[in-house]
Chain A
C-alpha cells in the first residue's frame, strides 16, 4: 500500500515537472529572435529626422543614376559617341541589348530603388509623431519628384517613345507607386506619362522654392517642361520653362562649363559631390577622362562640332594620335577630380522654350532671345546670333543645333532624335537602324520578366 502511494506521488511529481516544463516553454518570446545588425522599421523610423534620412537614401540612388551612369548609356544609343570597348555598352551601341546585360540591369535597378525609397518615405509618414505639415508636404513633393524623374528615364529608355503610336498604347514600364513587394504589370507609355505628369504637378504644388541641394518647386517645373517637350506639348513646355526662368532664382552664367565643384549658378537640380571622397560625378569623369576612355566622340559628331571653328566649346575636345589608325577624339570636360552634375539647368530650359515657342509660333522674340543667350555665350563671333526677324523655322533649326552642341553628353540626343521621329515625323536612322526598330529601346533585365510583365522583343534591329 505504502509502495503504491510512494509510486503515485513520484508519478504526480514527475508529471508536474513535465507539465511545468511545457508551461514555461509556452512562451512566444522564446522564439522571437530579432536581427541584430539591422534596425526594425518601427525602431528606425520614429521622427521627422529619420524620414529625412530615408529620403536622403533615395537621393543617393538618384545620384548614383544621374551622376553620369544614365547619361552614358543614353549617349551610346545615339550618335555622339563611337563604338565602346566594353561588351555591355557595345550591346547598347549596336541596338541589341540582351536581358543578361548587367550594366543595364544595374541602371534599371538604381532607378527603381530610388522610387522604392521615395514611396517608402511617403508610406512612413504615420511613423513620425513630430512630422509637421510643411515637412510632410516638402517630403511628399521631393518623393514624387524623384519618382517622376526615375519613371521618366525608364520609360524613355525601355519603351518606344511618345508618339510611336497614335494613342501611345505601346508597352511602357512598371509604375511603382507603392512600397510593396508586388510585381508590377507593364503599363502603356500613355499611362506612364500621365503618372509622371501627375507626380510632377503635385510636386510643383507641394515643394518650396528653396530647398538646399534637394528638389524644389522649380526642379519639378523644369522636369515637367522636359516631359511636355518630349510629348510635343510645346505650349505647356514653354509655360513651365518660363515659370522657372522667370523665378529669378537661377542665374545664367557666362561660364560654359556647368560641371563645377561649386555648382553652376544656372543649376536647378544637381547631383551633389560633397567632398573629394564623395565625388558623385564619377559616371562622367571615369568614362570620359581616362587616357583611353570608354566614351569616345564619334567622327561624324566631331566633324559637325569642328565645322564651326568659332565655337568656344571646341576647346572641350581633344584629338589623340592624330592622323594615325588609332586616332580618337575625347572630351576633357570632365577631367576635374570633383564636380556637381547639373541635371536640370537654365540652358536646357532656354533651349526648350526657344524651340517650343517657335514651334507654336506664339512668342518668337522670346524664342530668339533664348537662342541668342546660348549662342552669345558659346561663340567667338556673332555669326550665329539670330536676327530679330528670324522665322520660326530658323529659330527651331538654331535651337536644335545648339541643343546638340550644348547638351552633347548629357544624355539628351537619343530622346531628341526620337522626338523628331515620333512627334515631328522625321525619318530618323542611326547606324542603319530605324528609330522604331526593336533594338532601339533597351531590354529589361531578365529579373523583371513575369507572367504580367513581358520583356521587349529580342533580336536587335537586324
Chain B
C-alpha cells in the first residue's frame, strides 16, 4: 500500500528545533502524527523501524518522535491493538528530520486482534475455526431476564429464544440447529476455563402446584457486568478441542481483568420498568356467559343454562353479577434497578479488578422478581519473570421470588380456569361452597411465599509459566459451587381455603441442592518460528472434571413461616434424602498449528474423552479436527485489487460429541427392597434399568467453509459460511415398547443432519468526523432432518405433551397432528383430513401426519448504530421467518366449552348455517367435534409464527472529554434503552417468541415451538448512567 510522505507544516518548527538539539550527532530523526479514520489522534500506537531497536509510541495527541537513526532505508511499522497494522518504506539521509504522518484504519469490524479459543487465545488472523465474539459491553447494556438472552442477534446461526418475560427465565440457545434429541442440546458454557453446572432440570419447580416446569435457570446468577467477552465456538475446528461435549457449540465466557494503569473506577446504575409485550384479552363475564349459553343451546338444551356442567357451583343469576379481569389481577408494572461499581488497579507486577453489582429485576407479573447481588475479584500477579498467576473469584447470590404461571396458576389460570364470573373474593356461594376455585389469584400470590435462593461461586486459579521463549506451561484449577434452594411456605390461611378444617399451622417446604463442580487442566505449549516463513505452535493438555450433586427435601407440616426463617422443630420435620449423583470426564487433548508466511494456517486438533457416562465398551472417544485458513489478500493477484482490503478462506472438518445425558443410564440396576412395597408379606427386588455398556456420546461430523473479508478500505466486511453437520448415535430417551418391561431407556440410535448457510454483512455507511452510521446485518438458515430413529416409531420420543415427534425425513420436534381442513359451513363442525387427504368428521389419531415447519427458515438480525458528536443511537431488529407455532392451549380456549375461559378470538366462531367461521360451533359436549376425547391436537392450532421484532432501541449521550476532565472524570454516559418495543407478526396468540417451560431435555429439544399458556415477553424501558474515573 503506497502512501504519500509529506512534510507537516505545523510540526516543522518543532522538528527543526529538536533537530538543532541533536546538532552534534549527524543522525536522522523521524516524527509525525498518527490518526484514525475520522482524523482523531491515536495514542499508544507503536512506531518501529524494522530491523533496528528504534521504536516509539504515540502520545495522547497522537504524535511520535524517533531520534538517533543512522542514515539508510527503513521499513516503518505502525501497530496497535485496535488498528490494522501498516508499514512504510522510507529513505533517511544523514541529519534528515522526516515527518511521516499516518492514518490507520480500525481492524475490520468485530475482528478484535485476539480471540479466546479453547485452552488459549489466537490472533484473529490465524483463526481457522468459526468463532463469533460478543463483547461484554453489548451484553451488560441490555436489560434481560438473564445474560444469555443478550446474545440474541449478535452472531449468525446462534438462535436465541428468550424464555419469557418472567424474571430470571432461561433462554433457549441453539447453535446451528438441534443435533440432539434426548441429550441436552444446549451449548457447553465455559466460564474462565471451567465447564459450569448448567443443568436446566436440576430442580423442578417444587412450589408450583403440579411439580414441574419453571425450572431454575442455572445461568441466572451470572452477572452480565462481569463479562469481558463471550466467544461462541460453532464448528468442529473450534469445538473439537472440547471433544465429547462440543457438538452443540461452546460458549466461552471470559471475565474482566484490570488493564489500565493506576486505580480506575466505573460506577453505573440503571432504572427501568417492565410491561408485557401483549396482554391476553380474555372474555369478560357477560361475554363468557353469552358463549356458554350459545353452547348450551347449540347442544339442543333449553332454559336457563346450568353452570354445573363445567363444575361451577353458581346459579346463572349469581354468575351475571360478576366480571373479574383476572389478567389484571396478576399483572403489574415491574420496576428494575441495577447498581454496579467496578474498581481496577494495575502496576508492573500486580493487577486486580473488583466488581460489585446489585440487580433487582421485577417482571410484569405481580410478585415476581429476581434479585442478584454479586461480587467478583479477579487478580493477576507476576512475581517472577515469565510467571503469571491469575485468580478469578466470584460470589453471587440470586433470590428469585416466584409466582405460578402457565399450567400451574397465576397468569396461566387467568388465561384458563379462572372464569370472569368468579368474584375476586370470596369465591364462595351463599352456602359456603366454593364456586369451583375457592381462592382468587392475587390472594394465593400474597399468601404463598415461594422463593428460590441460589448461592453461586465460580473460582479459578491459573498459573502460566513461560519456561523459555518457546515453551509455556499452563495449569488451571477451578471450582464451581452452587447452593440452590427452593423455599415454599403456604400459611394456614391459604390451606384453609382448600381444606376448611385444617388445624395445623402452615406447610413449609425446602428443596436444597448442592452441586460441587471442579476441574483442572494442564497444558504445555511450544511456539516456534522455525524460519521467518514457517512457524509452529503445538499444545498438549490434560483435563479432569468431576461434579457431584446432592439434594434433599424437607417438609414442615406445622410451620409458622418458611424454613429459612423459622427453625423447624424435630417433631414437625420430615426430611427426604434424594439420590446424589456424580459425573466425571477425563481427557487428553492437543492442538498443532503450522503457519506459513503469516497467511496460510493449518490447524490439527484432537481430544480423547473418557466419561463416567460412557459404557464399559466405549470408555474413550476420540474427536479430531483439521482446518486451514488462507489469507488470499496477501497474494499478489488479490493485492492488485485496491478495493479488497482483506480476504480469507477457511475450511475445516472434524468431529465433536455430545455427552450430556443421564449419568447412570449405562448401568443395569435393581431397586432395593427398602424402596419397594411388599407382596404376599414378602420383600421384593425389581430391575430398575437394563444394562447398556455400549452407551456412548453422540458423534457429530462437521464440515465448515467460510469466506471472510473486507472491502473498500474495510468499509464493508462480510462473512459467508456453509456448514454441514451430520450426527449419528443420537441419544434417544426412547419410549420403548412395553414388551421390554420398561417405559423408556437411553439408546444411541438416531441420526440427524444440520446444514446451513450463515451470512454477515457489516457496513460503515457513513464515517464523518461528527457523524457515523454503521449497519450490521446477519442471516442464517438451518436445515434440520432426522435421518434415522432405528426401528422405533414416530411416537417413540415425544415432547412433553403429545405434540411433537421424531419423524424420519423431518426436523427434530416436528408437529405430528391430524390435519384440520375447515369449519363446515352447514353444521359448524370441524372437518378433518385423513391420511389420504379425504375429508372426515371423525378425529382419529391414526391420521396424524408430520405437518408444519417446526424450525424457522431464516433467523437473523439487523442492527443500525448512529453516532453524532457525543450522541449515539442503536436499533437492533431480530427476526425469525417461516417457523410455525403450535398453540397447545388454544384447543382448550377455543374448542369444546369446558371449565376454561376463552379469549376474544372465539367471537369468530360458527353461529348459523352458512357462516364462514374460523372456529367451530360452541358446544359443551365432548363428542361434538368427532372425537372420543375433549381436547384434540389438530393443525387448527398450528400457525405461522414469523416475526420481526425491534429487540432494542437505545439512545446514549457521552460527556465530551473536555467536560469530563473538568469534573476529573475519564468519561460519563447516560443512555435510554427500550426492549421489545415493537413486534410485527401475523401470529394470533400472545407472543411469537416462545420457549415454554420444559419438562425434560427431550422436551427442550423437541418442543421449542409449542406454547401452553406461556407468559409473553417483556417490554422494558430503562435509563442508565455510568461514570468512569
Which residues of A line the B interface, CB within 8 A?
Answer: 7, 10-11, 14-15, 18, 21-22, 25-26, 28, 30-41, 44-45, 50, 52-54, 56-57, 59-60, 63, 87, 90-91, 94, 96, 98-100, 105, 108-109, 112-113, 115-117, 120, 173-174, 176, 179-184, 212-214, 272, 274-275, 278, 280, 445-453, 458-459
B544 pairs with A41, CB closer than 8 A = no
B663 at the interface (CB under 8 A from A): yes
B679 at the interface (CB under 8 A from A): yes
B684 pairs with A275, CB closer than 8 A = no
Contact residues, B913-945 vs A (CB, 8 A):
926, 932-933
Rank and list the top 7 A-B pairs by shortest CB-CB distance, nearest first: A116-B741, A37-B579, A44-B670, A38-B669, A458-B846, A449-B793, A56-B684
Contact residues, B593-632 vs A (CB, 8 A):
610-612, 619
Sample (14) of A-B pairs whose CB atoms are under 8 Å apart? A21-B542, A22-B542, A25-B586, A30-B584, A39-B669, A41-B668, A44-B669, A53-B682, A98-B933, A109-B738, A183-B736, A275-B681, A446-B845, A451-B791
A445 to B735, CA, bound (A): 11
B467 pairs with A7, CB closer than 8 A = yes
* Contact bitstring B716-749, A, C-beta under 8 A = 1, else 0: 0000000000000000000111111111010100
On chain A, the residues within 8 Å of B844 by CB distance are 98, 458-459
A45 pairs with B670, CB closer than 8 A = yes
Whose C-beta in chain A lies nearest to the C-beta of B471? A11
A32 to B627, CA, bound (A): 34
Which residues of B line the A interface, CB within 8 A?
Answer: 465, 467-468, 471, 473, 522, 524, 542, 544, 546, 579-586, 588, 610-612, 619, 663-664, 667-673, 675-692, 735-743, 745, 747, 791-793, 795-796, 802, 844-846, 926, 932-933
On chain A, the residues within 8 Å of B792 by CB distance are 183, 450-451
On chain A, the residues within 8 Å of B738 by CB distance are 105, 108-109, 112-113, 445, 447-448
A106 to B688, CA, bound (A): 17
A450 to B610, CA, bound (A): 33
A-B contact sample (17 more), CB < 8 A, given A38-B671, A54-B670, A181-B742: A11-B468, A31-B586, A31-B610, A32-B612, A34-B664, A36-B581, A38-B579, A39-B669, A57-B676, A59-B684, A87-B932, A176-B741, A213-B680, A451-B791, A451-B792, A458-B845, A459-B846
Measured between C-beta atoms, what is the minimum distance from A115 to chain B in Å?
7
A47 to B742, CA, bound (A): 25
B583 pairs with A33, CB closer than 8 A = yes
Given contacts A91-B932, A176-B739, contact A54 B544 (CB under 8 A): no
Measured between C-beta atoms, what is the minimum distance from A9 to chain B in Å?
10
A320 to B684, CA, bound (A): 43
A53 pairs with B685, CB closer than 8 A = yes
A439 to B494, CA, bound (A): 49
A25 pairs with B542, CB closer than 8 A = yes
On chain A, the residues within 8 Å of B686 by CB distance are 54, 57, 60, 117
On chain B, the residues within 8 Å of A44 by CB distance are 669-670, 672, 685
A183 pairs with B610, CB closer than 8 A = no
Whose C-beta in chain B lies nearest to the C-beta of A91? B932
Given contacts A35-B667, A39-B672, A459-B846, contact A56 B735 (CB under 8 A): no
Whose C-beta in chain B lies nearest to the C-beta of A280? B679
B679 pairs with A60, CB closer than 8 A = yes
A139 to B540, CA, bound (A): 57
Whose C-beta in chain A lies nearest to the C-beta of B687? A120
A449 pairs with B685, CB closer than 8 A = no
A233 to B524, CA, bound (A): 80
Which of A33, A94, A174, A458 counts the most chain B CB atoms within 10 A?
A: A33
On chain B, the residues within 8 Å of A41 by CB distance are 668-670, 687, 691
A31 pairs with B612, CB closer than 8 A = yes
Measured between C-beta atoms, what is the minimum distance from A89 to chain B in Å?
11
On chain A, the residues within 8 Å of B664 by CB distance are 34-35, 38
Given contacts A63-B679, A115-B741, A453-B737, contact A22 B588 (CB under 8 A): yes
Measured between C-beta atoms, what is the minimum distance from A40 to chain B in Å?
6
Given contacts A35-B669, A54-B686, A56-B679, contact A179 B471 (CB under 8 A): no
Measured between C-beta atoms, what is the minimum distance from B668 to chain A in Å?
4
B680 pairs with A274, CB closer than 8 A = yes
A324 to B209, CA, bound (A): 41
A38 pairs with B670, CB closer than 8 A = yes
A212 to B682, CA, bound (A): 12
B679 pairs with A59, CB closer than 8 A = yes
Measured between C-beta atoms, what is the minimum distance from B228 to chain A in Å?
28
Measured between C-beta atoms, what is the minimum distance from A30 to chain B in Å?
5
A108 to B236, CA, bound (A): 45
Measured between C-beta atoms, what is the minimum distance from B346 to chain A in Å?
27
Measured between C-beta atoms, what is the minimum distance from B789 to chain A in Å?
10
Which of B582, B685, B687 counts the most chain A CB atoms within 10 A?
A: B685
Measured between C-beta atoms, what is the minimum distance from A45 to chain B in Å?
7
A174 pairs with B669, CB closer than 8 A = no
Contact among B581, B667, B737 for A174, CB-based, below 8 A = B737
Whose C-beta in chain A lies nearest to the C-beta of B587? A25
A100 pairs with B802, CB closer than 8 A = yes
A214 to B845, CA, bound (A): 42
B932 pairs with A98, CB closer than 8 A = yes
Whose C-beta in chain B lies nearest to the C-beta of A62? B679
Contact among B582, B676, B691, B795 for A449, CB-based, below 8 A = B795
Whose C-beta in chain A lies nearest to the C-beta of B579? A37
B741 pairs with A35, CB closer than 8 A = no
A272 to B677, CA, bound (A): 14
On chain B, the residues within 8 Å of A117 by CB distance are 686-687, 741
B467 pairs with A183, CB closer than 8 A = no
B678 pairs with A274, CB closer than 8 A = yes
On chain A, the residues within 8 Å of B691 by CB distance are 41
Whose C-beta in chain B lies nearest to the C-beta of A119? B741
On chain B, the residues within 8 Å of A274 by CB distance are 678-681
On chain A, the residues within 8 Å of B688 by CB distance are 38
Whose C-beta in chain B lies nearest to the C-beta of A182? B740
On chain B, the residues within 8 Å of A34 by CB distance are 664, 667
Whose C-beta in chain A lies nearest to the C-beta of B584? A31
B679 pairs with A18, CB closer than 8 A = no
Whose C-beta in chain A lies nearest to the C-beta of B846? A458
On chain A, the residues within 8 Å of B741 by CB distance are 112-113, 115-117, 120, 176, 179
B932 pairs with A33, CB closer than 8 A = no
B687 pairs with A116, CB closer than 8 A = yes
A22 pairs with B737, CB closer than 8 A = no
On chain A, the residues within 8 Å of B802 by CB distance are 100
A451 to B793, CA, bound (A): 7
Whose C-beta in chain A lies nearest to the C-beta of B802? A100
A53 pairs with B582, CB closer than 8 A = no
On chain B, the residues within 8 Å of A105 by CB distance are 738
Measured between C-beta atoms, what is the minimum distance from A448 to chain B in Å?
4
Measured between C-beta atoms, what is the minimum distance from A257 to chain B in Å?
22
Contact among B465, B677, B681, B689 for A14, CB-based, below 8 A = B465
B522 pairs with A53, CB closer than 8 A = no
Measured between C-beta atoms, what is the minimum distance from B631 to chain A in Å?
34
Measured between C-beta atoms, what is the minimum distance from A118 to chain B in Å?
10
On chain A, the residues within 8 Å of B611 by CB distance are 31
A212 to B583, CA, bound (A): 46
On chain A, the residues within 8 Å of B579 by CB distance are 35-38
Measured between C-beta atoms, what is the minimum distance from B794 to chain A in Å?
8
B791 pairs with A450, CB closer than 8 A = yes
A52 to B741, CA, bound (A): 19
On chain B, the residues within 8 Å of A275 by CB distance are 681
A454 to B301, CA, bound (A): 43
B685 pairs with A40, CB closer than 8 A = no
Whose C-beta in chain B lies nearest to the C-beta of A12? B467
B584 pairs with A56, CB closer than 8 A = no
Contact among A40, A50, A113 for B667, CB-based, below 8 A = A40
Given contacts A38-B669, A112-B738, A448-B739, contact A30 B467 (CB under 8 A): no
B542 pairs with A57, CB closer than 8 A = no
On chain B, the residues within 8 Å of A36 by CB distance are 579-581
B544 pairs with A446, CB closer than 8 A = no
A196 to B583, CA, bound (A): 44
Measured between C-beta atoms, what is the minimum distance from A213 to chain B in Å?
5
